[in-house]
Structure 1
């Protein structure tokens, strides 16, 4: 049996996925959690073979969870097929990336392939990621823009990143230019749509 841990904050979706996977003769859902920050404990307690993570969860997002669990067989199941998410997931060692609108057969196939040591990437998501290219933002530009997205002022960003306010303004201006945006708001929106934030 392939032992699976499901992490998704939407109770109805998590329950439906668990029920559908329970119909597979070789897959058993051994644990379910609703928060990203509960995954590591559930992994220690249940020892799953494959961890299926949603990306957007309270406590800790699925990508951060995957980065914190190197060496585990992780599959992302998400309604957010943003190219940057796929690239970040692959860099974290995630072996599968499946959209939530996939069929239960496709999800079961992906789990089996990931369990066997292979990879499973939804073809449409993979094509979108390839077409989108790499993020043009440097780490500092991304950090500054991410904090601006959370509503932080230039002064707050400067203090948090241990930079001067002028340097933060330069990073934000550079990010806006690289993203072809007219201001911070449109730059943030563009970066979020690509999954670069």
Structure 2
């Protein structure tokens, strides 16, 4: 009987350890589909009533988290490069350019539930850096006399909310959304004359992913 009770106690202890979702010292990585949906606004182009619009894009997203305490984590959000079409209603042109961007974002997240809970909702604040590169006008833009496109890089605040579900000791699934403050200035030439337009992209970033806890 004593052996049986000891065996049950060991099994119970192991089970209790396995259901701990997030605890201090844990490192976990998530990977999945990330979609950037701009909530953009823009200054007018050439004294018109039309500005620049940045279209949505989706790519592979990745987060790496380290649990500083049982409730607080440090998270780095990254992705493969997002490629966005840029369009304008000016002159009925439509899509005139493309840009690529990398948006590394450092977050501090707070997890609301105790470590034993399989559901782990969280929210956080952080800072975003967006690097724009490979900016270019397409044939439509070039035919309209546009050239030499360049977008300033951006620093801004970020907010997020999300939830993890711990499937077992190591695997989890996640859904999250970020709001990032991304503001840039587009520099370009029209028929050889230099111009610039301020663009507030300020996207929502949606991500559904699978994670692994080490």
Bigger proportion of residues as helix? 1
- TM-score normalized by the length of structure 2: 0.22
- TM-score normalized by the length of structure 1: 0.23
- Rg larger in 1 or in 2? 2
